[in-house]
Structure 1
């Protein structure tokens, strides 16, 4: 019996209708389609790294508790904070303790354009054996379930929705320009960043993405098919067959040139049997998926692009505090 040395499974989701509003409702439990905020704490001389980390974690708790996705990439919309020491006392205790009263102000806004959307001031008190521990003790008092903080988050969300309402046409035009430059992943990233809460703009962008996605996978198929053909034409051995198989397996089966990919697969398999006496298989299994699976595929492209961006960015918060 011939030994099967390689098997690649293809699957694809067929497009079966397009109901963006209902899908948005179905995905409420997911992070996809939510308003997203990046947590950002600029360097503050009075705060140690440990205290800054504590404050950053608290900001993350605030947004996750209040129905906002924590952006894994550098979102234009941010939640940030500034801490000022109001009082500092050295307590004559054993051991000596430091007592701090902090004025901490939380902000939500557009970190690219530098527009502040919402703010909330908090007075926090903390005690510790040193200033850093006193800072951390004070930060622990930030309650993400506080009604004032929840109102602050709601105000910020409303402003973000207003931003998309006012700029939807511009976002679409910029994405279409990127599409013309074959920068499909960046264009899809821009369009999938529109949250489902912005219903009208969300529906408009989701109506554009399928054709853009199709162009992207068709172009990707041509590039990969050319690479696979070049490799195989140069060297026809087992190792090259494995490399070619890896390339072919990454081609989306819904792309236009998948038939050519199958033809190359068959040619490679036949040659491997001739030179190596072993079987080389590339099987295609088709699955009919739901529309929400396609939406996730679109968002995966956007997320992959976003995650590939620089991890460190300096936002414009001039005048916020």
Structure 2
């Protein structure tokens, strides 16, 4: 009976996750990370405009969002063909730029696709003129989006080759207790990949174990807060800590109830906080599943953001 219940919960989690994945940015999608190296030497305005333009290009190509794998980049290389000043009053700066836009594997330095564009701009400074030239790039230009589509297909081909390896590595990380790391790896497998559903099942399992560990840590902190100060203030501190519990399992609920009874016995009363927390525990199964999924995605994004800054190798291909 317990085994059947476990299978049902995991299946429900995956179904709910599949629905949510289609609406959340980055989940189950291939995402390109806009990247401009410092070596470009761009001014503040032109740099900001170029990052914005690369994001716009990726968005039109369906490849924007906060993804879980930062190895794939959309980048650009700007070359000045001509730069001059007008003879008008006030004087203006004009530029003629050759802008190369590239999609590739920034970690291995592999170019997937590219597009070249020549653009002119005018402004009160050379930086402003360059920003206007960059702004004039048509992000929806068919040849440009064809290059983006080609890059996307090559990324999908890449995942088709390594999906089994990702799952094996993630499983090994989970076996070592590194559930957040494992979940982050599995989130990178896109919806179109044949191993996507397998990855979702594992995400549900590892996310549940990760949450269980985090919830137990909160319970220990709550016990410590109460044991340190067995007064109404100590009870309030413990209850506040317990409010951080997410998608509690039967074991976690039992531990929370045990502490609540101990507090109530000591203080001869139950606080409103405890009643509210008990109500929260009695949420329906769907709400608990969605909470677990949301927490897993949040943990994965936080984990990805905390990793060392990626050093991309591009050499302007």
One of 33, 38, 49 as aligned partner of 1:38: 33
Q: 5+ unaligned residues in a row in structure 1: which ranges?
A: 1-13
- Corresponding position of 1:10: none
Q: Return the offset for 1:23.
A: 6.5
CA distance in 2, matches of 1:291, 1:241: 25
Deviation digits for residues 166-205 of structure 1 (CA, Å, limit 9, x no counterpart) = 111211122122212322112111111222132x121221
What is the SS of the residue equivalent to 2:32? strand
1:119 correspondence with 2:108: no
Pick closer, same or farther for the CA change 1:74–1:166 going to 2, 3 Å. Answer: closer
1:212 correspondence with 2:206: yes
- Equivalent residues in 2 for 1:19-34 (5 A)? 24=18, 27-31=21-25, 32-34=27-29
1:288 correspondence with 2:282: no
1:99 correspondence with 2:94: yes
1:203 correspondence with 2:200: no
CA distance in 1, matches of 2:19, 2:229: 52
- Corresponding position of 1:79: 74
Q: Return the offset for 1:66.
A: 1.9
Pick closer, same or farther for the CA change 1:38–1:227 going to 2, 3 Å. Answer: same
1:140 correspondence with 2:138: no
Q: Compute the RMSD of aligned alpha carbons.
A: 2.8
- Corresponding position of 1:182: 177
What is the SS of the residue equivalent to 1:95? coil
When normalised by structure 1's length, the TM-score is 0.84
- Corresponding position of 2:267: 272
Deviation digits for residues 9-36 of structure 1 (CA, Å, limit 9, x no counterpart) = xxxxx83735968965775444232211
1:63 correspondence with 2:58: yes
One of 125, 131, 138 as aligned partner of 2:126: 131
- Equivalent residues in 2 for 1:156-175 (5 A)? 156-175=151-170
- Equivalent residues in 2 for 1:241-260 (5 A)? 241-252=235-246, 253-254=248-249, 256-260=251-255
Q: Return the offset for 1:165.
A: 0.7
CA distance in 2, matches of 1:188, 1:69: 21
Q: Return the offset for 1:230.
A: 2.7
CA distance in 2, matches of 1:118, 1:63: 13
Pick closer, same or farther for the CA change 1:22–1:269 going to 2, 3 Å. Answer: closer
Pick closer, same or farther for the CA change 1:27–1:212 going to 2, 3 Å. Answer: closer
**Aligned length, in residue pairs:** 303
Quick check: 2:104–2:110 contact (8 Å CA) kept in 1?
yes
Q: 5+ unaligned residues in a row in structure 2: which ranges?
A: 1-7
Q: Return the offset for 1:258.
A: 2.4
Pick closer, same or farther for the CA change 1:26–1:71 going to 2, 3 Å. Answer: closer
